[in-house]
Amino acid sequence: MRLANKIALITGGGRGIGAGIARRMAQEGADVILVSRTMAELVKQEEWIRNNTSADVLVLEGDVSSPADVNRTVDAAIAKFGRIDILVNCAGVSLAHPSVDLPFEDWKRVLNINLDGTFLYCQAVGKTMIERGQGGKIINITSLVSHAAIPQRAAYAASKGGVKQLTQNFALEWAPYNIQVNSISPGFIVTEIVRDFIAKGIHKPEKMIARIPAGRMGEVEDIAGPAVFLASSDSDYVTGTTLIVDGGFLTNGYV
């Protein structure tokens, strides 16, 4: 198993891409800490992991945009497992709203969770990795809007573009400590958020799939595999990069 004897903390681990990554990392031998604002979702993932893998699991309720919650959950993880080898920043929210009248409160909420939360966890966990002196892996989840504009996504685009650049800065600063910091930009992945956008008519599946050369929307498993690669020793010489996993969406300038 590629992550045997590793300890992984995954924010947003209660559902969607975060849950998919947590399950796959547990299958690959890692013990996992799942962080989310919703304990019911965490318990559901904990039950799946315990029933289907030999991994140990710790679930922690917390708000990624709260420095106090971040420090509390990181301290609890260290208290139980002694270290954190892998951090995956997956907690996030999306918002579709015309920029001309986007409420400032909504702007702040998206930035606080997506960008501030990533910064806070990178800082808190990175500090423990540096102090331990054994290196580590950090994976941040960005988005297609880190690379290209989509209408009505000003707050989301700003937050995820910030995460992409933040990834490069941490990678540069922490390379001397053998900490690799990378990000993954998922394409249109079938998650609760995407399903909600489809139900509201914000996303139109037939239009989306027509633009994707792979001919389908992605599943969370399509992101979990690349995450395991970036968390494993196979990526020890990979840092500061963003891996685009979108079925070819961004390459397609024809449609």
Q: What are the residue ranges spanned by the domains of the chain?
A: 7-188+219-250
How many residues would you count in the chain? 255
Per CATH, domain 7-188+219-250 is 3.10.580.10: no
Judge contact between 72 and 58, C-beta under 8 A.
no
Tens-place pLDDT, residues 182-207: 999 999 998 877 777 777 777 777 88
Residues 6 or more apart whose Cβ sits within 8 Å of residue 170 = 122, 126, 138, 179, 181
d(CA 188, CA 179): 29
Catalytic, 156? Answer: yes
How confident is residue 77, by pLDDT bands cut at 50, 70 and 90? very high
User: In the predicted model, is pLDDT for residue 255 greater than 60?
Assistant: no
List the catalytic residue out of 121, 156, 177, 237. 156
Measured in degrees and rounded to the nearest 5, phi and psi for residue 92 equal -170, 165
In the sheet that 136-141 helps form, which strands lie side by side, from edge to edge? 57-61, 31-36, 7-11, 86-89, 136-141, 179-186, 242-245
Query: DSSP label at 234?
Result: G
Tens-place pLDDT, residues 162-172: 999 999 999 99
Judge contact between 52 and 27, C-beta under 8 A.
yes
User: What token pair was written down for 254?
Assistant: 């024809």
